[in-house]
Amino acid sequence: MKMRLLVEYDPECRRWAASIPELPGCATSGDRETEAITNAREALALRFEPVELKLSSNSKLVELAIE
């Protein structure tokens, strides 16, 4: 899966902002553009980190991949 990342420089605070348009609230920043991109990768990984689930006896968990 590939995601788009919007990276822009904010001259007012002199930092780079990075956000993923398709995931509202998934945003970060950095002092340098590369740092903002690295932080965005980490934020994206955390956003999709699996969580513990209690499944009932009549349910199952299926993994999906988006190409």
9-14: list long-range contacts, CB under 8 Å, 24+ apart: 9/33
Range of the domain at 9: 1-67
Percent of all residues in the chain with a pLDDT value above 70, rounded to a whole number: 100
Does pLDDT of 67 surpass 80? no
Number of domains in the chain: 1
CA–CA distance, 26 with 43 (Å, rounded to integer): 7
pLDDT in tens, 48-59: 888 899 999 999
Averaged pLDDT, 38-47 = 93
Averaged pLDDT, 15-22 = 96
The whole model's pTM is what? 0.77
Averaged pLDDT, 2-22 = 95
CATH number at residue 40: 3.30.160.250
Percent of all residues in the chain with a pLDDT value above 90, rounded to a whole number: 75
CA–CA distance, 59 with 17 (Å, rounded to integer): 41
Element (H, E) at 9: strand 6-10
